Amino acid sequence: MRLRWFLGLLCCLAGVAHATPGQAPPHKAYLSLIIDDLGQNLPRDRRVLALPGPVTAAIMPDTPHATEFAREAHRAGKIVILHMPMDPATGPFAWHPELPIEELRKRLDAAFKAVPYTAGINNHMGSRMTAQQPAMAWLMAELQRRHKLFVDSRTSAQTVAAAEAQKIGLASVSRDVFLDDERNEAAIYNQLQSAISLARKQGSAVMIGHPYPQTLAVLERELPKLKAQGIDWINIRQMISVRSNRAMAAHGKDGTYRQ
């Protein structure tokens, strides 16, 4: 009996030794990464699949290799999402505010057909379209019907997309950091560090980048270091679970998205 008590006491003391008095235990910090604009260049895009972790491949439907690359990404075990063109984007699949719902449906159907194995969508451009409440409400209900998730790329502060998704409990999440608005390695590295800092502050951060040579060079160099920095790199489905469809502070108040 005494021996068991003594061993238990040692275990308790060992646990205390690892904690700092007056300090809460460290919180988890999660990152997710989406690479947009895929499907245009297979050798370049395959570098994305070679990144050492659960990168999400966002494939544009109007690219020459959309279907082929979606199949490759799926075989590689990556989550594939449809990178849906929205106004001011142009092209045969693009959504515009003046289009009737039936035309939006037709273009969405065609886009999903062009990009197989999709778990959901995020918007390509879309600063005008994601501000259209009726269309976004219809889209979220349609994604719910199709059992798809939604990522709001947040290309505009006026977006109502995530708010409409949240209203109906659609599995969704919003982008926190764009990695490569500036296409130079120093700026991209700084954005990655900003994402890491944000993840430590609020528990998680969602990054979006593009398959630029500079972006890929930084990611190939820096992503393998995340674990040693105490960062968990998780896929977008896991991130939706971590956030439980709640808005981060920059996107809303008390977990509710601004509209």
Q: So where are the chain's domains?
A: 29-245
Summarize the confidence of residues 185-192 as an average pLDDT: 98
Tokens, residue 190: 């700084």
Please state whether the predicted TM-score (pTM) of the whole model is above 0.75: yes
In the chain, the DSSP E strands lie at 29-38, 56-59, 79-86, 118-125, 149-152, 172-174, 177-178, 204-209, 231-233, 252-253, 256-257
Burial of 186 per CB tally in 10 Å (0-12, 13-18, 19+): exposed
d(CA 216, CA 36): 12
Who's near 228: CB < 8 A, 6+ residues apart? none
Burial of 112 per CB tally in 10 Å (0-12, 13-18, 19+): middle
| pLDDT, the chain, mean | 91
Could you tell me the CATH superfamily of domain 29-245? Glycoside hydrolase/deacetylase (3.20.20.370)
Place of tokens 């895009």: 45
Q: Is the pLDDT of residue 21 over 80?
A: no
Place of tokens 């005008």: 128
Confidence of residue 103 (pLDDT cuts 50, 70, 90): very high
Give the tens place of pLDDT for each residue, 37-96: 999 999 999 999 999 999 999 999 999 999 999 999 999 999 999 999 999 999 999 999
What's residue 27's pLDDT?
74
- 3-state SS assignment for residue 172: strand
